């Protein structure tokens, strides 16, 4: 699917972008693999790594807020994976204009540039926080998802198609809960918002593989949701709290008790497959065959939430995950 093709990753110097580039280089022979991001230092650091010195690699400085720069970058590109976004929930509440410019206006710019350059496939990486959002970050990602799904209507007779991949917390990613707790553990005190909270978890490699698989399966307009395990935040703390004091500080503003990847309102358009759910577009003004997705229709009122998810991680598996992350961070994994 990616051999002899040109692939561009927006936000390509982030955790997902690096892992995605690494996977593509390991499993395919692309004609070009373009890293599009606005941080010159991160691009320089990435170029210094031996694993990214392949002849097909290209590094393109730019911001998704700049549509004309995107057009320059998208020329002769076959696939765009849109992972660029501002993501920190508290920062969004204090800087709403900046999040809107990047997450919403940036999404519209990606769509416009892809249509102008006739990119074949565009997949946007989304988040559970876009479902019934309670914070600005989630609201901007909901708007972004709507933009990408609706943009299939604008493609006309061209082959350009857009889809969305939505999943939960990436294990070990920057700013996520496990690295935070592991760093606190080194100082002997863990802070927890609410032990009853539950979260979906996905390994970074699994997230990359799922996104790339969806590039091959998309027809345009779908929201793909992988089946994931969940865990209680209290169980995470229990896995690494030996010898530490634990302080409960309460939920932060804009933070949900439980996560939702599929809301009840989407149940009628959702099909369940062995390893994923697929939400079909509600208003497909383009030619779209929902039955081609396969699988079985979800019942009315179906939801996919972290607290009711039947796949809950065991304490043993949680400890294994925490140890793996600790090793990657160079921290003590003896717990």
Here the tokens at position 133 are 């959002």
Q: What share of the chain is helix, strand, coil (3-state, %, to 5)?
A: 40, 20, 35
- Give the C-alpha separation, 335 to 46, whole Å: 33
Here the tokens at position 313 are 């991680």
Active site residues: 129
CA-closest candidate to residue 22, choices 207, 169, 170: 207
Residue 225 pLDDT > 90, yes or no? yes
Rounded CA Rg of the chain = 20
- pLDDT tens-digit profile of 316-329? 999 999 999 999 88
- pLDDT tens-digit profile of 69-87? 999 999 999 999 999 999 9
Residue 174 pLDDT > 80, yes or no? no
- pLDDT tens-digit profile of 25-45? 999 999 999 999 999 999 999
- Give the C-alpha separation, 99 to 141, whole Å: 10
Which residue matches tokens 């400890």? 319
Which residue matches tokens 């019942």? 299
Residue 6 pLDDT > 80, yes or no? yes
- Give the C-alpha separation, 77 to 12, whole Å: 15
DSSP state of 328: H
pTM assigned to the model: 0.94
Task: Say which CATH superfamily domain 6-168+202-227+260-304 falls into.
Answer: NAD(P)-binding Rossmann-like Domain (3.40.50.720)
- pLDDT tens-digit profile of 84-137? 999 998 899 999 999 999 999 999 999 999 999 999 999 999 999 999 999 999
Write down the pLDDT at residue 1: 86
The separation between the first and the last C-alpha atoms of the chain, rounded to the nearest angstrom, is: 43
């Amino acid at each position: 699917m990616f051999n002899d093709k040109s692939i561009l990753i927006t936000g390509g110097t982030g955790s997902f972008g690096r892992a995605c580039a690494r996977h593509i280089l390991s499993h395919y022979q692309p004609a070009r693999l373009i890293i599009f991001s606005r941080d010159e230092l991160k691009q320089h650091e990435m170029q210094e790594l031996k694993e990214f010195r392949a002849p097909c690699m290209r590094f393109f400085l730019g911001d998704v807020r700049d549509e004309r720069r995107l057009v320059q970058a998208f020329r002769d590109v076959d696939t765009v994976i849109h992972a660029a976004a501002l993501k920190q929930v508290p920062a969004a509440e204090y800087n709403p204009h900046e999040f809107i410019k990047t997450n919403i206006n940036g999404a519209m710019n990606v769509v416009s540039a892809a249509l102008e350059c006739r990119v074949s496939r565009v997949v946007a990486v989304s988040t559970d926080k876009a479902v019934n959002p309670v914070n600005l970050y989630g609201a901007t990602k909901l708007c972004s998802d709507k933009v990408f799904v609706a943009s299939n209507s604008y493609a006309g007779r061209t082959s350009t198609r857009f889809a969305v991949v939505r999943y939960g917390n990436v294990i070990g990613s920057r700013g996520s809960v496990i690295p935070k707790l592991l760093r606190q553990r080194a100082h002997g005190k863990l802070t927890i918002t609410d032990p009853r909270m539950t979260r979906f978890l996905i390994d970074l490699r699994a997230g990359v593989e799922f996104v790339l698989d969806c590039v091959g399966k998309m027809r345009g307009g779908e929201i793909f949701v992988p089946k994931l395990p969940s865990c209680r935040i209290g169980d995470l703390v229990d896995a690494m709290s030996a010898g530490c004091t634990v302080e409960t500080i309460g939920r932060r503003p804009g933070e949900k008790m439980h996560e939702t990847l599929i809301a009840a309102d989407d149940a009628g358009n959702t099909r369940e497959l062995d390893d994923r759910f697929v939400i079909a577009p509600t208003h497909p003004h383009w030619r779209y065959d929902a039955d081609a997705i396969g699988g079985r229709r979800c019942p009315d009122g179906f939801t996919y939430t972290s607290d009711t998810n039947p796949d809950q991680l065991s304490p043993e598996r949680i400890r294994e995950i925490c140890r793996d992350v600790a090793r990657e961070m160079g921290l003590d994994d003896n717990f």
